[in-house]
Each structure stands twice: as C-alpha cells, then as structure tokens.
Structure 1
Amino acid sequence: MPEKADHDLVPPVGSPDPTTAAAGDASPRDQGNSMKNQSAETGKIDQLSHPAFVGFLATQFFGAFNDNLFKQLLLLLAIPTAVVAGASEAGMLDPATTAQTVAEASATAGETAADAEAGGADLQGVATIVFGLPFVVFGGLAGYLADRLSKRTIIVSSKVAEIAIMALGMLAFLATPSIGFAGLWIVLFLMGLQSTFFGPGKYGILPEMLPRNQLGRANGLVLMTTFIAIIIGTAVAGPLKDAIVPPDMPRMQAASGLWIGSLVCVGIAIIGTVTSLAIIRLPAAEPNLKLKTENLAIPKEMRSLLRRDKPLMLALLASCVFWLIAGLTIQSVNSLSKVQLAQTDTWTSILVALISVGIAIGGAIAGGLSRKISDNFVIQIGMWGTVAFCALLSISLPGAADEPGQGHLLGFYGCIPALICLGGSAAFFAIPIQVFLQDRPPQELKGRMIAVMNQANFFAIVLSGLVYSILDRIITAVDAPRSYLFAAMALLFLPVAIFFKLDSSEVDSDAAEIADSGVTDNAPQTA
C-alpha cells in the first residue's frame, strides 16, 4: 500500500493503549536506549535488525503458521473415512469388510448411509466458505479501524484474541461428538475474523514504522517468512493429526482427540502475542476518521474507475479466477491424496505444502523474467502451464489396483513435481497481474485498489468452497475418480487462457478525471 505520512512516536507514559506491557512503564533513560536504532529525524526505525521489526516479523510468522496449521487440520478432518474409501477403490478391502467399516463410520459420525458409502460428506467446501467469509464481509471495516486506531493496538489486540479463539477451539474439538461440526465452524469463522482485522495492521504498519529506503527489503522479508510459515504450518498439520489419532478413526471420534492440536495452536498464539509487544508504538494514521457506509464496500471512486478502465476491471476478474482455482486446488489435492491415492494425512499435507513451494519458486523466476520479456508472455506461460498441469493431474487409469494410487496416471510420486509445477505456473500468471493492479490506478486510489483487490480475491476463495462442494457432489453421484476435480479446474481456467491479455493502454479521459477528484487514501490492504 502507499506510504503514510511520517508520524512521531506516541510517548509511552500515559498511553491509552490497553495492550501495552512493560514499555508503558519504562523510564525516560530506558526509552532513550530503546530508540537508539531509530532515526532521530523521522522517528522511524532505520535498521531492520531493530527489536521492533524483528518482533513484527516473528508475530506475522507465527500468525500465518497458526492459521495454516489449524485450517489444514480441519480440512483433513473434513474428509471422513477417506482412507477406507481409497483403500476400497484400490482393492485393499473386500466388500464385506468395506460394508462393515462404512456402517460403523456412519453410526459413529451420524452420517447418512449414502454419504458413508462415498467416504462420507466432504465438508472442505463448507470450511473454506466459513474461513473466507469474514474477509469479504468485514474487510472494509477492518481497513477503517486500521487507520482510525494505532496499528500496534490492532496487531496486539488481534494476537490476544487469537489465544482465546484457539482455546475455544480445544473445547470445540472435545464437543464435536456431541454437537457435530457447529462448534468448529464457529471457531473457524472467528479465526477468519481475527485474520481480517490483523491483516490491515500487518500490511499498513510497515510504511509507518520504516523509512522508504527500507520498505523493499522489509516487504521481501515479510513475503519470505509468510511463505515459510504457510509451507511449514500446512506440512506439520498432517503429521500432528496422524500422531494424535489413528488414520482409520471416524472423524467425529477423531475430532475429540484433536484438542491436543488446538492446544499446540494456543501455545503458538501465546508466543506470537509476546513477540507483538516488541513492536514500537505509533499513533493512529487518522484518529478523527469518520466511518462511512461506502468504506464497508467498494468505494464510489473505485466503482467509477473500474467501470471506465476496462483493462483494470479485466485484470481484477483474472485475479479472482486465480484465487478461485487456488482455493479449489487445496481442497482437491487433499481429496485426491486421501481418497484416490489412499495416503495418510502426513503425506497429504506435504503434497499441499508443495504447491506453496512451487509458488515461491515460480514467483522468483517470474519476477526476473518480467524484466526481460513482456508481462503478457509471462502470463501466457502461467495460464497454459496451469491448464496443462491440471489436465495432467486429472488423468486416471483403469485396470489393476493392487496397491493405492495405481488408478492414477502419476501416482503419489508423480504428483510431487506436477504440483510444484502447477504452483510455479500459477505464480507466472498471478504476479504480473498483481503488479498491474497495484501500478495501474492513480496514486490517490492505489490503496483503495489494493483493498478492493483483496476483498474480491477472498470472495473468489469463498466461491471456491461452493464450487468444490458442487463438484464433490457430482463426482460422488457418478462414482468418478477424485482426479476429475482437476479436469473441472482446467475447463474453468481454459477460457481465461484463451482470451485474457493485459492491456496497458492509457486509461480513458473519464477515468483520468477521477485522479483529480482529490480523494484521500484511507483503505489499507485487508489480507
């Protein structure tokens, strides 16, 4: 987001910020020592080794780690009796054993017989919708509060809330055999809500805390640590679940044992809260900012700009398609691995984490290529690569199934490079578009564009949950392999690959007039 104006630090003594700890009671001498790495001229940190930035980096790392750990635990839990179903498809269980196991699973989980025979009702789509909905509904309000209040207050308060939410998650897991998934859906929604309010503070505090010449390196470190947190958090979820509950345990019974996993998340949240206290105190960007109804949705100026600037609108829609496919991919990989490839939660989580590895590698390569060749050529590589690898992952083979995975063209080990390449292709497509969306709008509207982009992208993620649920029902009804989910994704993405092209021509004069309207930028990034 754009830089905010420089601000002096709020004096620690007498601060109304209720989230401050020992810093609020420091003596003037201690305060002077703690600020010696800050610029005397601007009041900002002038070294990335300053404890305040290190604390911020650790805080956002533990937050991203916790989000992905807990969410992946729930996604794995949302695929019931999947290992039994996969083993049956692979010919590892005789019909009598399968029927008995399915009946037991159905009775324990309280599911219909039809759902149990199909491996149970896959609730990954519901989980994706529940987690993403707060970003869509409350993203505008979160952006407003991030400017109305101190961003440090937002960050620390969000981390304290994370502890309470993860503790509530322990109770929800324990209560699942009695109340079903209702408690877990509430916790997942609260997790999404906490992340919604944490995001604008996380992204908005950097320009306020650091001088301009440090922002590039700082954002690079934030991006790197975020990807590492996503990869590790996702990869750890499977081994943690396998260590706590047996892989063949029905999901309602398994859920009650996963309170231990939520306890781990509580510990991580506590560590993240402690590290957040090291962040320097900064004043609110606009303490007198009034809440307007339009701040909760797409602002009028942005609606006008998108209506007149067709290339910008098309790029925003393309970005949404990317996140729709991204949301579908995570759910589809979980389902493919557990049901068709009959893999454990450990290996399933590793497969999902490899997508992020591919995105990180692809992002680095795409950034370098964009300096040498046109963005449209990079995007073409990404689009057709995404279609090709989705198509490759969709191919199932009939015939002997003496062991799990034999009905799939690639099998488990073949899926590893395919998923890395799929992630890399997605990065080739997404990164030039994101840069275009950030660079194209007038300077006064760049921050609002980022906010709108994030809300639109999270709407696409919510939509991916709905689309996945529909596809899951269709595939289950026709008894098709789970790999066909990737065929559906390839077909969804194919029109984009055929028709989409970035148009960097000048915006028309009507849109240009918006730049002269004198609007201020109040909306930070919301994710």
Structure 2
Amino acid sequence: MNEARQDKREHSQFTLLADRRFGPLFATQFLGAFNDNLFKNALVVLLTFQAASWTRLDASLLANLAAGLFILPFFLFSATAGQLADKFDKALLARLTKILEVVIILLAGVGFALESLVLLLAALFLLGLQSTLFGPVKYAILPQHLRPDELVGGNALVEAGTFVAILLGTLGGGLLAGLEGGTAWITGVSLLVAWLGYLASRGIPHAPAPEPALRINPNPLTETWRCIGFARADHSVFLSILAISWFWLYGALFLAQFPAYTKSVLGGGEGMVTLLLAVFSVGVGGGSLLCEKLSRHKVETALVPLGALGMTLSGLDFAWASMGRAPAGEVLPLAVLLGQGSTWRLLLDLLLLGASGGLYCVPLYALVQQRSHPGHRARIIAANNILNALFMVAGALGAVALLAGGLGIPALFALAAGVNGLIALCLCTVVPGFIRRGLICLGLRRE
C-alpha cells in the first residue's frame, strides 16, 4: 500500500514543481511570459490613451505596430536561437537571456522617462528577441531533465503556466498603466519580475550541449529552411508542428476578436473582454493539466483528435450562440451581462474550447520533443516557433480581409471552427485506432 502511494506521488505532475530538474525552469518561463505581456499590454494601453503627447501617429496604428514588432524577432532570429541552444549549455543560455531581459527593462525605463516612442518600441522588439532566444531552450531542455513518463506532465505545466502568466501579465499591465505615475510602476514591477526570473534561472541544472562543435550560420533565411528540413526528416514530428501552429492560429484568431466582439455583439465593456480572456486561459490550463491523467503518464496521440473535435464543437456552438444578438445602444455592465443565460452558454463554450485546446497541444509538444533527434532538437523547436508565428500572422491577415469584406465576427468564428473540423477529421484518419484509444483515455473502455 505504501509503495503504491509513493509511486503515485512520484508520477504526479505537481511534484515536478518542487523538483530542481523542473521547478526553476517553470518559474523562469512563468515570470518571463508574465513580464512580456505586462510590458506589452501596458505599452499598448499607454499608446492608446497617451499617444497624442508622444507622437502624431494614430493610436490603432501604433497598437498594431507594437504587436508586429514583438512577433517579428520570431521570424528573424528563431533559427539562430535554435543553433545556440544546440551548441551551448541550455541552463547557461537561460541565465543569459534573463540578464538580457533586465537590460531591456532598464532601456524601457529610460524610454518612459524621456517619453521616447522609439526607445519604447525598441525595447518591445528586444523583448520579443529575448523570448525568441529562450523559446528553444525551455522546450528542448525538458527531455534532458525529465524522464519519458514525466514529459507529458512537464509540458502540461509549462502550457498551463504560460497561459496563466499571459492572463495575469495582461491584467497587470492594464492596471499599472492606469495608475498615477504608471510609467514608473511599469518599470519598477517589470524590473523586479525580470530580476526574480534571473534568480530562478540560476537554479536550472546544467543541460550539456548536444552539438558543441556546431558552426553558427548567421544567415536567417538559409538556416530557417535548414531547421524546417530537420523537422521534416520525421513525418510525425513535422505533422505535429503543423498541428501546433494551427492551434495558435485558431486560438489567436478568437482572442484577437474579443474586444470588437464584446462591443459589437455582446454590448459589453472592458470587464467582459477580461472575463472572456480569463475563461479561455483557465480552460487551456485545465485541459493541459488533465492530459497527464488521461494519458497515464505517456504521450497519448488519441488526445489530439479528441481535443480537435472538442475545439470544433465548442467553437461552432460559440459562434451559433453569438448570432442574432442585438447589443444595446449603451455599454452593459458586467453584472447585467452575467444575468443573461446566453452569456453563461458562451462562457461555457469558451471554457471547453480552451480545455480542448490544452488536450490537443500538450501531447503534440511532447511528441515533438520525444521523437526529435537530440542533436537537432532545439533547431526543430525553433522551426516550430517560426511556423507558429507564420500561422498566427497569416490568420490575422485572413481575419482582417474577411471582416473588411463584410463577414461578421460570429460568422468568422463559425468559419474557423468549420476548418478546424476538417482538420479534426484528418487527424482521426491519421492517428491509428483513435476511437478505441479515445474511449480508453476517457475511461469508457478498458485497455
């Protein structure tokens, strides 16, 4: 009996948080994701309401410029980041990227003090660069420090932590931007978080380089194509990367519409936008953590089409429940919206959409890590990051074009969910024995 209890404790994903092999890495990535979103959202809020005193450019243009500058480094430097993570100790790289984060926040503080839009946008670009450099490190290091039966649990915690950090950072950035002397608060809090992230990174155990003799190719175009080539060497790995990239497109498309959707469809204000973001983030976190239990501590590919089906059904119902709504002429308080039964249906759909997304993406990340060649793993993760960014930008451009062409936001959601349904059907045919494995995972059938 005691041995069974001990085995259960050893296999719990939450025990990893207290383990030096994982805990410091989790804290480092959590604080980094929190800081990125705190600074980015705070800057967007300031540009929206104070841009007139800094520049003559339109506030909406500045907000889109800020978003583009943050994601641009993922295209330019992901391939280089992958090479560095394969050539050098990943724990050392993690510490160096956190030192870089501290320097960037100091630069941002100077930008706030001088009210220099150029310095602030440069700091945002550099934060995107710092995240780009850390991306291959945080995913490629997991198979070096975790056992195979811990890989799903580790990835689940990383994904759950990332979405919670995004939510908290976004909320924190908005709150700090609205305070008296907000720029000083933003700088101080961001600097504290960056320093705490550095201290956490010092606890990450050494992760020796798999390819210390690797020669760095400085050409981002040729090296990007080479990284994608490494990913394509294993068919299952490349398909997983494409599937992960679709998840980021699908999720980002929904999230990007929340402000306009809340205003034009629900008739709500900022509080409702925040609630939608919170429900989706909690859903992804819950679905991610559920993966280890359903997969029984192994990479279970049957969860992927199961998650895809859930994303389709919840997305379609969310779109259906949104159609035909006629918002009031004035902004409705959050309490009034929550008093409507239809709002709770929308929130439940969004929670299930996020949870299904967690079930969908965690096994894919674990599969990529497990099946990638150790000497190329970081560069394959870099290829994943590049394609993720490419899919998100393509999705954003496609959404803009469709909305400009007269398509309503609920119809856009329905279209995206329909395409996701086609992908789910494809996954059901690609994953062998999906129905049988899915029933086993859900406890509806014995092994």
Q: Which residue of 1 aligns with 2:317?
A: 388
Is the CA contact (8 Å cut-off) linking 2:73 and 2:129 kept in structure 1?
yes
1:133-212 to structure 2, matched below 5 A, reads: 133-176=72-115, 180=117, 182-209=118-145
User: Which whole-Å deviations, capped at 9, do the CAs of 1:445-504 have from their partners, x for residues lacking one?
Assistant: 7765544223211222233444455567x38xx7x9xxx434324324423423651243
Deviation for aligned residue 1:404: 5.6
Is the CA contact (8 Å cut-off) linking 2:164 and 2:285 kept in structure 1?
no
1:273-284 to structure 2, matched below 5 A, reads: 273-284=198-209
Which has the larger displacement, 419-428 or 139-148? 419-428
Q: Which residue of 2 aligns with 1:488?
A: 412
Q: What CA distance in whole angstroms lies between the structure 1 residues aligned with 2:104 and 2:268?
A: 33
User: Which whole-Å deviations, capped at 9, do the CAs of 1:202-244 have from their partners, x for residues lacking one?
Assistant: 23334444566665655454444434433332333333334x1
1:349-368 to structure 2, matched below 5 A, reads: 349-365=274-290
Deviation for aligned residue 1:51: 5.2
**Which secondary structure state, in structure 2, belongs to the residue aligned with residue 501 of structure 1?**
helix
Q: Which residue of 2 aligns with 1:55?
A: 24
Higher helix share: 2
Q: 1:220 to 1:498 in 2, by over 3 A?
A: closer
Q: Which residue of 1 aligns with 2:196?
A: 271
Matching of residue 423 in structure 1 with residue 392 in structure 2: no
Q: What CA distance in whole angstroms lies between the structure 1 residues aligned with 2:98 and 2:124?
A: 15
Which runs of 5 or more residues in structure 2 are unaligned?
Answer: 1-15, 433-447
TM-align CA RMSD: 4.3
Q: Which residue of 1 aligns with 2:257?
A: 332
Q: 1:411 to 1:234 in 2, by over 3 A?
A: farther
Is the CA contact (8 Å cut-off) linking 2:21 and 2:204 kept in structure 1?
yes
Which has the larger displacement, 324-333 or 362-371? 362-371
Which runs of 5 or more residues in structure 1 are unaligned?
Answer: 1-46, 82-104, 246-255, 507-527
User: Which whole-Å deviations, capped at 9, do the CAs of 1:312-331 have from their partners, x for residues lacking one?
Assistant: 76665443332122222222
Q: Which residue of 1 aligns with 2:5?
A: none
Which amino acid is the alignment partner of residue 383 of structure 1?
T
Q: Normalized against structure 2, the TM-score is what?
A: 0.73
Q: Which residue of 2 aligns with 1:454?
A: 385
Matching of residue 343 in structure 1 with residue 269 in structure 2: yes
Q: Which residue of 1 aligns with 2:66?
A: 127
Which has the larger displacement, 210-219 or 356-365? 210-219
Q: Normalized against structure 1, the TM-score is what?
A: 0.63
Q: 1:77 to 1:465 in 2, by over 3 A?
A: farther
**Which secondary structure state, in structure 2, belongs to the residue aligned with residue 454 of structure 1?**
helix
Is the CA contact (8 Å cut-off) linking 2:255 and 2:277 kept in structure 1?
yes
Deviation for aligned residue 1:123: 4.7
Q: What CA distance in whole angstroms lies between the structure 2 residues aligned with 1:50 and 1:312?
A: 28
1:427-446 to structure 2, matched below 5 A, reads: 427-431=358-362
**Which secondary structure state, in structure 2, belongs to the residue aligned with residue 397 of structure 1?**
coil
Is the CA contact (8 Å cut-off) linking 1:138 and 1:196 kept in structure 2?
yes
Q: 1:211 to 1:418 in 2, by over 3 A?
A: closer
1:14-53 to structure 2, matched below 5 A, reads: 49=18, 53=22
Q: What CA distance in whole angstroms lies between the structure 2 residues aligned with 1:153 and 1:379?
A: 37
**Which secondary structure state, in structure 2, belongs to the residue aligned with residue 297 of structure 1?**
helix
Which amino acid is the alignment partner of residue 430 of structure 2?
S
Higher gyration radius (CA) = 1
- Report the count of equivalent residues: 406
Q: What CA distance in whole angstroms lies between the structure 2 residues aligned with 1:455 and 1:61?
A: 21
Q: 1:130 to 1:489 in 2, by over 3 A?
A: farther
Is the CA contact (8 Å cut-off) linking 1:399 and 1:407 kept in structure 2?
no
Q: What CA distance in whole angstroms lies between the structure 1 residues aligned with 2:201 and 2:370?
A: 31
